[in-house]
Amino acid sequence: MVATALALEPYAGLDDAACDARIRAAREALGERLVILGHHYQRDEVFRHADYSGDSLKLSRQAAASAAEYIVFCGVHFMAEVADILSRPDQVAILPDLVAGCSMADMADLERVEAAWAALGEVLDPETSVTPVTYINSSADLKAFCGRHGGIVCTSTNARHVLEWAFGQREKVLFFPDQHLGRNTGDAMGIPLEEMVVWDPDQPGGGLSREAVQRARIILWKGFCSVHQMFRPEHIDAFRARHPEGLVISHPEASLEVCRKSDYVGSTEYIIRTVAESPPGTRWLVGTELNLVNRLHERFRGEGKQVHFMAPTVCMCSTMFRIDPQHLCWTLENLVEGRVVNRIQVPPPVADQARTALDRMLEVSP
């Protein structure tokens, strides 16, 4: 007889202080059998419990190298999928709240990507002329699509190296789901904007003419991160007017206009490292998720560094925010009782093909 999992409802009324104490107790009871991963965008009440913090790929690789049996990923769904794909067979990947997804990742699904691939086949032979590249912020079945079509996965850190590899395979790239990372990377590589076109999956033929597809080097999926679209060039202009000595750093999921006006552009890890290595007293305007920016502000204020959030309005990753102390407490106390809840398990055929695309990425990354 399988024991029933502890019900989630009673946890909803727990305050954060009670959750904090119970999480710590559960962690102690589980010991080395457990590893908790905390993405940089996670709220502080949960982030403080992470054994490892970082971006999604880094965390998954750290978890796979650990001795832990249970990998509890405080992030979003695609991150837990990557953890499951890269982990050992004896490890179990868990997402505390299954509703924690990624709106950007949801903008490209397998059905529409396969339809786009077929539509491209009416203009050219995609199997010989187009390398599919998916941002790691995508579902496992899209990574698998890339794996079986000679494609690859990228992160915001290695996107340029991945695109260079992709162009070495075929003359064009289909890049999804985030158009801005693709455009910013192509722009940094010197690819003219007229050779980067946007594929709209809601329009016949992506809304593109045959000539536009034939001319394009990068075909960008019409997807984006809602958080990073809150940042505008005028926010940078206003900051520079007030603080001409200040520096601007942005994530490449922001628009091309924002990235071109920034002094530095890079991944979350790059942003953290760049601010950390800057001289005391440096003032920064940071274009990425609010929880990370607030954490940087608190971490470096003792060095006299001023870290400002780029947007004038509050914007955080709302789906990431669904992972709260109550869900984490519920997850861990079920594990203490010997019950796994919210396991993320990618079907083996999909995982194998996705791993192929991930392995290609790891091979070409510096």
CATH at 173: 3.40.50
Please check whether residue 352 lies inside any domain of the structure. Answer: no
Q: Is the pLDDT of residue 285 over 50?
A: yes
**Is 362 domain-assigned?**
no
Residues 81 and 164 in one domain: no
pLDDT at 315: 60
Answer for the pair 165, 150: CB distance below 8 angstroms, yes or no: no
Claim to verify: residue 325 and residue 295 sit in the same structural domain: no
For residue 248, what are the contacts with CB-CB under 8 A and spacing of at least 6? 236, 239, 240, 261, 262, 263, 264, 284, 285, 287, 310
Residue 339's pLDDT is 96
Look at residue 322 in the predicted model and tell me its pLDDT: 82
* Span 70-81, pLDDT tens digits: 999 999 999 999
Overall average pLDDT of the 188-205 stretch: 97
One domain, residues 274 and 303: yes
The pLDDT, as a whole number, for residue 35 is: 97
118-158 tens-digit pLDDT = 999 999 999 999 999 999 999 999 999 999 999 999 999 99
Per-residue pLDDT, 3: 59
Q: Tell me, what DSSP letter sits at residue 354?
A: H
Report the distance separating Cα 361 and Cα 366, nearest Å.
10
Do 176 and 221 lie in a common domain? yes
Are residues 111 and 97 located together in one domain of the fold?
no
**Same domain for 138 and 196?**
yes
Whether 1 has a pLDDT exceeding 60, the answer reads no
Whole-number Å distance between alpha carbons of 144 and 302? 46
179 within a domain of the structure (yes/no): yes
Structure tokens that stand for 166 in this block:
């992709």
Query: Is residue 287 situated within a structural domain?
Result: yes
DSSP SS3 for 40: coil
CA distance 93 to 80: 6
Q: Fill in the amino acid letter for 175.
A: F
Q: Answer yes or no: do 255 and 199 share one domain.
A: no
202 in the same domain as 161:
yes
Q: What is the mean pLDDT of the chain?
A: 94
**What is the DSSP track for 238-288?**
HHHHH-TT-EEEE-TTS-HHHHHH-SEE--HHHHHHHHHHSPTT-EEEEES
Question: Domain boundary at 309, 337, 361, which?
Answer: 309
Do 197 and 281 lie in one domain? The reply is no
**Are residue 94 and residue 18 in the same domain, yes or no?**
yes
Scanning the chain, the segments in alpha helix (DSSP H) are 16-30, 44-47, 56-65, 77-86, 103-106, 110-120, 126-129, 140-148, 159-169, 179-188, 210-215, 233-242, 256-261, 268-277, 290-300, 325-336, 348-364
In a domain, 128, yes or no: yes
The band of 314, judged by pLDDT with boundaries at 50, 70 and 90, is: low
Say whether pLDDT at 2 is over 50.
Answer: no
Work out how many domains the chain is built from and give that number: 3
Task: Give a yes or no: residue 360 inside a domain.
Answer: no
Residue 313 has pLDDT above 90, yes or no: no
Across the range 13-27, mean pLDDT stands at: 94
Which residue shows structure tokens 């060095």? 303
The range of the structural domain enclosing residue 40 comes to 9-101+320-346
CATH number for the domain spanning 88: value is 3.40.50.10800
Cis upstream peptide for 96 (omega within 30°): no
Which of 192, 225, 258 delimits the end of a domain?
A: 225
Single residue among 199, 225, 251 that ends a domain in this structure: 225
Structural domain includes residue 289: yes
Work out the angle at residue 174's Cα, subtended by the Cα atoms of residues 170 and 175, and round it to the nearest 5 degrees: 125
Taking each helix axis from N to C terminus, what angle separates 179-188 and 159-169, rounded to the nearest 10 degrees?
80
Burial class (CB in 10 A: 0-12, 13-18, 19+), 128: exposed
Report long-range pairs for 300-306 (Cβ below 8 Å, ≥24 apart): 300/275, 300/276, 304/280, 305/275, 305/278, 305/280, 305/281, 306/246, 306/282
339 and 235, same domain (yes or no): no
Please give the Cα distance from 332 to 96 (Å, whole number). 9
One domain, residues 92 and 114: no
Mean pLDDT in residue range 317-337:
88
CA angle, residues 360, 229, 314, in degrees to nearest 5: 120
The answer to whether residue 136 sits within a structural domain is yes
